[in-house]
Structure 1
Amino acid sequence: MAQKVLTMRKIKEILRLKWVVGLSDRQTGASLKIAHSTVGEYVKRAERAGLDWSQVKNMTETELKERLFPVKKSDPEASPQPDWQQIEVELQSRGVTRMLLWQEYITAHPDGYGYSQFCEHYRRWGKRQEKPVLRIPKKMGEEAQVDYAGQTMTVIDPKSGEIIKVQIFVGVLSASGLIYAEAHLSQSLPNWLRAHVRMFGFFGGTPRILRIDNLKAGVSKPNFYEPDLNPTYHELSVHYGVAVIPARVARPRDKGLGENAVLQVERWVLAPLRKERFFSLHDLNQAIKKRLAWLNGRERTNKAPSRRTVFEQHEKDTLQPLPAYSFDYLEIKQAKVHIDYHVSFEKHKYSVPHKYTHQIVLIRASERLVEIYHHDQRIACHVRCNKRGYSTEQEHMPANHRWYLDWTPQRFTRWAQQIGPSTETLIAAVLESRRHPEQGYRTCLGILKLADPDILEAACKLALDRGVYSYRAIKRLIETKKDVLEANSQPETAVHEHIRGQEYYT
């Protein structure tokens, strides 16, 4: 008997030639170009099944097959059926293999399936569990899918020699299959958004739908029914007029085209570059660009047109036009205004009008500017600073704070000059005695407000002679009339050499 079963149509012809025409086995075999022994085997099989030509000629191919090749019913007692559902669960555990589960099964049922039959029945069970797949034809210009490749590439820092892993972003137009890819340092939100901008530029337009994986850069909170988009990613989608649809969690077929594009990039772009060394992202992306041009331009299986050809002829004109200007990446976050009427962003603090203290505001930061909004109204704008510190606009400050901000050594020195030379010398001494002049501002302010100019000047003369410069000491001098009168009668105090004058602070 031949190993390969003949078609029912040919078997029926064998029986007709034998039983109706009356040919020998050799003549029948020669007519049908099969071995004469095969003819004999099929005739015997039909006879064992109790068939004759009057029955066979009216049978369908299915009925004839069931009579000639009856399915052997397995004896459940002879081969106990494993719990395939439990085996499916067990295989999810680390280190558990089909061989291990079969050994446990055969120990419990020595008369059970052998290992190969065990695996075959498990495979058949798995096939029966698969749900039907809905094939949805893709409309031209309708959708693009984006994802990151699992495979990474490396760039060598030319100065330090450090090897840096870089991520590979992949996007594909679902209808034509045109693929875009680029390398960048991380899967951060800025890189994610800028890759989209360059991808849209590569396509020369935008699709109506973007289907994405549940990456943190794109989806801030994955959910089967209502996934939350990252707010900045939402801004990009609005700018380009696309609708973003995240793939359902644990539904790989939702992004099947994207994953296939990733596979194509890994196989035909990254693998050929694996032995090359790159010393900058620019060099790597130039190499990716060349390989990508080849991938998009090659004919596909069965001599189907290339991705580039299908795109140029059918999809290019169906894309939405690009907006007049590219999307400017904005980092967007909510913040609460501190009691000092500043908000914190990237380790730097930016002022807002003081009336918004304790209010919740929205920060929109580009590479150059930091804008702050309250209820959709812009209340502040600063040049972005990437260092620790403060950016403060004086008009944001309360009046008393602006007045305090005007306190400088020069201001106190000019004020003291207007009163008299002794007062000027004493104020300079107070500022000099502090490690930082700012630490003496309140003392200077208190002294200069103690009394009328003539009394204060006399008190400062006496204080300089006695070598006392504190607010409390001068206040006591003024309160003692005798000391003040004595101070008025004394000659003008010379300027001490160790005291810095106004010129030091100008």
Structure 2
Amino acid sequence: MDKAREILRQHFEVGLSQREIADSVKVSLGTVSGILAKARAAGISYPVKLNNKELGSILYPPVEKDGNQKYAEPDMEYVHREMQKKGVTLTLLWEEYKTEHPDGLMFTQFCTRYRAFRKMNDVYMHKIYKAGERIMVDWAGDTMSYTDSGGEKHLVYLFVGALPASSYLYVEPFRDMGQQAWISAHVHAFEYYGGVPRIIVPDNAKTAVSKIDSHDPEANRTYADMARHYGAAIVPARVRKPKDKAPVETGVQIVERRIIAKLRHRQFHGFDELWEAVRDELEEVNRKPFQKLPGSRLSVFKETEQPLLRPLPSTRYECADWKQVRAGMDYHVQYDGHFYSVPYLYAGKLLELRATANAIEVFSDHERIASHIRSCASQIRYVTLPEHMPSNHRAMTDWTPERFEAWARKFGPETQAYIRFLIQRREHPEQAFKTCAGVLRMGESLSAAGMEAVCRAAKEKNVFTYKYFSMLFKRMASEPNKRPSAPIRHENLRGGSYYGGDANA
């Protein structure tokens, strides 16, 4: 259902065409068309308020297969002639073909047959990119370096973003190529452009794609979250297919030749100095006139691409770390050495955790079930909300030393002194709370005088565990009036002095 939800989001929220959605989600055009048609028929829009089971029953009802179905083959010579005309696309020709042959080939097979026909006839296509449609991103292969105040040398990696319709570039140096740098580079690039393209085309690095697959790659969760925040779709380039993102490959070459190579003899004494030099060279590259075309990257961008970019959201994206976690039986999930509560009904279940610099959010089946301010205090490892606790656990949170002493005072001063003794025996008062509660509950079955006698004896005998207090309590409660008997005296008994080691021994 995740792909179905993504199809609906990209259609209703991002506004992509069905073909673009199919490329982004890595499904056939027929699947996209079918899901949107069924969603429209059922009155479903985005955001989807149905759970996965309800959505699946609508989008994928049981169907009967017809093994004898036949397809009318399209006239590829006619398709090829029409493709030479301005404004004619394969999508348009396929729709005309489907109108004439409703049971004909789906779009994928239609395109496969056309590619085979074109290959046989040695036909090649020049790809033209629409303004404001996509950004292609990559890291430059060459690196730069700077020397810090201590004389230590540090490598710097350059992020490159290119808008293919205008060849307008964005370049930014980073100290590493990690997830944080990758996300920050995109955020800064969108702010540099003043808007957001509809499609992001990365390569298959781990910061962009968590599962590499020729047919069904899975975007990195943090990367996908960032794209969703800006209303963009991620369409990774195919593995070992650099032509899928040829404009940024060209952009990387330009950066390596006109920025990195140009600054190779300069000695930088800090990261900020290097960043300023790269920024100056970037502005020069974007302002330099084209050799064979009128204008420059900057002028073409302002004229054609900038007006078509989607507006930036009201808030900047905050980089988040996604992690799959399992709630313990104490209904807490762990992240970075701290434990955060979730509703107790989710104890033992597999959940998804989203962590930012300031907040922790926990999700179950795409629904947020808990939100906490992120804790950085080493002495406070557990963050628990009272509403997440069952009623019996919630009552325990009200336990304090004063409450137990007040409870013990109802029996008498000996009981109160014994409860204070139990609490002071432990390093932390909380460690004695369960023992105190057990002792006082046990005393409810005995008279106040009897409880006072038991507590006095327990303190004198240094009893501080519930187990031994229970044994003492049961013995004294069963013999409330029993007194020690007087020693037996008889002439045949030697007496205690016999064992004392005196002169008569």
Say whether the fold is shared (TM-score over 0.5).
Answer: yes
Q: 1:378 Cα deviation (Å)?
A: 2.5
Kindly indicate whether the alpha-carbon contact (under 8 Å) linking 2:146 and 2:267 is maintained by their aligned counterparts in 1: no
Of 157, 167, 182, the match for 1:167:
157
Q: Distance in 2 between matches of 1:162 and 1:485?
A: 84
The 10-residue stretch of structure 1 (365-374 or 266-275) with the greater mean CA deviation from structure 2: 266-275
Which residue does the alignment assign to 1:473?
Answer: 472
Q: Distance in 1 between matches of 2:448 and 2:151?
A: 70
Kindly indicate whether the alpha-carbon contact (under 8 Å) linking 2:361 and 2:368 is maintained by their aligned counterparts in 1: yes
Matched, 1:212 2:205: no
CA separation of 1:161 and 1:467: change in aligned 2, threshold 3 A? same
Q: Distance in 2 between matches of 1:156 and 1:484?
A: 88
SS in 2 for 1:419: coil
Kindly indicate whether the alpha-carbon contact (under 8 Å) linking 2:209 and 2:220 is maintained by their aligned counterparts in 1: yes
Which residue does the alignment assign to 1:321?
Answer: 311
Q: Distance in 1 between matches of 2:152 and 2:376?
A: 25
Of 409, 420, 423, the match for 1:431:
423
Q: Distance in 2 between matches of 1:440 and 1:485?
A: 33
Q: Distance in 2 between matches of 1:176 and 1:215?
A: 25
Which residue does the alignment assign to 1:149?
Answer: 140
SS in 2 for 1:343: strand
Q: 1:319 Cα deviation (Å)?
A: 2.6
Matched, 1:419 2:414: no
Q: Distance in 2 between matches of 1:368 and 1:401?
A: 28
Which residue does the alignment assign to 1:182?
Answer: 172
CA separation of 1:414 and 1:284: change in aligned 2, threshold 3 A? farther
Which residue does the alignment assign to 1:308?
Answer: 298
CA separation of 1:418 and 1:254: change in aligned 2, threshold 3 A? same
Q: 1:467 Cα deviation (Å)?
A: 5.1
Q: Distance in 1 between matches of 2:296 and 2:273?
A: 26
Q: How does 1:52-451 map to 2 (within 5 A)?
A: 134-156=125-147, 158=149, 162-274=152-264, 275-280=266-271, 282-301=272-291, 305-386=295-376, 389-450=381-442, 451=446
Q: CA RMSD in A?
A: 2.9
SS in 1 for 2:141: coil
Q: 1:468 Cα deviation (Å)?
A: 4.8
Q: When the two structures are superposed, what TM-score results if normalisation uses the length of structure 2?
A: 0.63
CA separation of 1:429 and 1:243: change in aligned 2, threshold 3 A? closer
Kindly indicate whether the alpha-carbon contact (under 8 Å) linking 2:450 and 2:480 is maintained by their aligned counterparts in 1: no
Kindly indicate whether the alpha-carbon contact (under 8 Å) linking 2:180 and 2:319 is maintained by their aligned counterparts in 1: yes
Counterpart code for 2:156: V
Q: Distance in 2 between matches of 1:349 and 1:381?
A: 12
Q: 1:448 Cα deviation (Å)?
A: 2.0
Q: 1:404 Cα deviation (Å)?
A: 3.2
Q: How many residues align?
A: 354
Larger radius of gyration: 1
Q: Distance in 1 between matches of 2:432 and 2:184?
A: 51
Counterpart code for 2:451: L
Give a deviation string over 1:193-251, Cα, whole Å, max 9, x none. 22112111111222233221111111111222222222332333333333322111111
Unmatched tracts of structure 2, length 5 or more = 1-121, 486-505
Give a deviation string over 1:338-383, Cα, whole Å, max 9, x none. 2111122333221111011122333233332212222343221100
Q: Distance in 2 between matches of 1:272 and 1:305?
A: 23
Counterpart code for 2:453: A
Kindly indicate whether the alpha-carbon contact (under 8 Å) linking 1:477 and 1:484 is maintained by their aligned counterparts in 2: no
Counterpart code for 2:176: S
Unmatched tracts of structure 1, length 5 or more = 1-130, 487-506
CA separation of 1:243 and 1:428: change in aligned 2, threshold 3 A? closer
CA separation of 1:157 and 1:444: change in aligned 2, threshold 3 A? farther
Kindly indicate whether the alpha-carbon contact (under 8 Å) linking 2:454 and 2:472 is maintained by their aligned counterparts in 1: no
Q: 1:386 Cα deviation (Å)?
A: 4.4
SS in 1 for 2:235: strand
Which residue does the alignment assign to 2:448?
Answer: 453
SS in 2 for 1:482: coil
Q: Distance in 1 between matches of 2:371 and 2:417?
A: 43
Counterpart code for 1:427: I
Q: When the two structures are superposed, what TM-score results if normalisation uses the length of structure 1?
A: 0.63
Q: Distance in 2 between matches of 1:299 and 1:485?
A: 112
